[in-house]
Amino acid sequence: MQKPSLSKQNSKALLEPINLDLTPIMNMMLILIPLLVTMAVFTQISVIQFSLPSEEGESLPGEEITPRPPGDVDITLVVTESGFQIIGEGKKMDPIPKNRGAFDFPILKRYLEKLRQEYPLTETIVLLVDPAVGYEDLIGTMDICRESRYTNVALSGGIEP
Amino acid sequence: MSQPRRRKPPQSMKPQMTSLVDILTILLVFLIKSFSSDGEIMVMDKNLDLPVSSAAGTPVPALIIGISRDHILAGGFPVARVDEESARKGPLIPTLMDWLVEKKAQTLRISEFDESVEFEGQITIQGDRKIPYWILQKVLRTCGEAGYNNFSLAVVKKE
């Protein structure tokens, strides 16, 4: 099967596997990879942003209070050591007790969805949090509120101890 | 092929490098992809165990206040102890207040000379997931009193 034009020596060189010298590449990899591993960010950090009203921003005397549409109501979510309770427009919804020592987020979500259908224009929810409630549970509650499309989650001054 | 082939004399060992290079190339590409070129806005404290959240906000440059289980850290240094603060009555943390007021004065002084610097009142709070709400409340109140009104709570993004 040899081509007649090739000399014998040449054809032998073609048939042999080419042995690439990969050592320099390996050297480079061994330096680059530890460098990048030390610099890599494996946990993505994000933030939840909120603002407190600044002092000068509070109710200017000449400012008119615009009447709110009927679907926009005040909703307060009370978070205590015993569980959740939603209060809005002078009404109280049934309290949501803790389920086996942990806050019952699925039930809260169902309640908020129900409220969402009743008052579709409401975007603000005020959290009234007991001082003893853990930070993790607070973040979880804020997540649930945000997932129920309450874009403005505010922290109230809280229950004074 | 009339003659029986003679065995080659043993050569030096040549390990098959190709597959290894393949693996390393994939690793390299993956690592370069995960490498963020815009640098770290936040430096994480190793003692802090941030809560997990579905929030998607991007971190902004801000003063960083850390709340660990034992200490309140301002700019990476402890300024107050949590157990001492729990014993103290009153809504503010004096040592943190001093630090914030000083930082605000610094920023305002710089902004007199440099128009690109402006006091925005941004605070990033890195809180451990086990801290109670009252300590967060105290920190928020202190920041508010010092004139810092825009807060970011640092969380670990849920997958």
Q: Which pLDDT belongs to residue B102?
A: 92
CB-based contact B148:B124 (threshold 8 Å) = no
Q: Categorize the per-residue pLDDT at A161 as very low, low, confident or very high, splitting at 50, 70 and 90.
A: very low
Residues of A within 8 A of B57 (CB-CB) are 46-49
Of the partner residues B32, B54, B155, the one whose CB lies closest to the CB of residue A47: B155
- Spatial distance between the Cα atoms of A2 and A8, rounded to a whole number of angstroms: 9
What pLDDT is stored for residue A59 in this prediction?
Answer: 47
pTM: 0.71
* β-strand partners of A86: A77
Contacts of B31 in chain A (CB under 8 A): 33, 36-37, 40
Chain A residues whose beta carbon lies within 8 Å of the beta carbon of residue B121: 54
Residue A57 DSSP SS3:
helix
Q: Taken in order B57, B59, B63, B69, is the CA torsion positive or negative?
A: positive
Please indicate whether, in this complex, the C-beta atoms of B21 and A26 are within 8 angstroms of each other.
yes
Using one digit for the tens of pLDDT, what is the confidence trace for A110-149? Answer: 888 888 888 888 888 888 888 888 888 888 888 888 888 8
Residue A114 is predicted with a pLDDT of 86
Angle at A30 between CA A29 and CA A31, to 5 degrees: 90
Give the ipTM.
Answer: 0.72
> If you count them, how many residues does chain B have?
159
Answer yes or no: is pLDDT of A97 > 80: yes
CA distance, residue A27 to nearest chain B CA (Å): 11
pLDDT at B73: 87
**Closest residue in chain A to residue B14, using alpha carbons only:** A19
Helices (H), chain B: 18-34, 82-87, 94-113, 133-146
Euclidean distance between CA atoms A60 and A62, whole angstroms: 6
Asked whether A22 and B131 are in contact (CB, 8 A), the reply is: no
User: Quick one: DSSP state of residue A55?
Assistant: G
Strand partners, A85: A78
Angle at CA of residue A34, ends A30 and A38, nearest 5°: 170
- A159: number of Cβ within 10 Å: 16
Q: Is residue A65 pLDDT above 60, yes or no?
A: no
- The per-residue pLDDT for B11 is 67
- pLDDT tens, N- to C-terminus, chain B (159 residues): 455 666 666 667 777 778 888 888 898 888 888 776 555 566 667 778 888 888 888 888 888 888 988 888 888 788 888 888 888 877 888 888 999 999 999 999 998 888 888 888 888 888 898 898 888 888 888 888 888 888 888 888 887
Residue A126 DSSP SS3: strand
A86 close to A97: Cβ distance less than 8 angstroms:
no
* Distance of alpha carbon B35 from alpha carbon A39, whole angstroms: 7
pLDDT digit string (tens) for A9-47? 666 666 777 777 778 888 888 898 888 888 776 677 788
The answer to whether B53 contacts A48, with C-beta atoms less than 8 Å apart, is yes
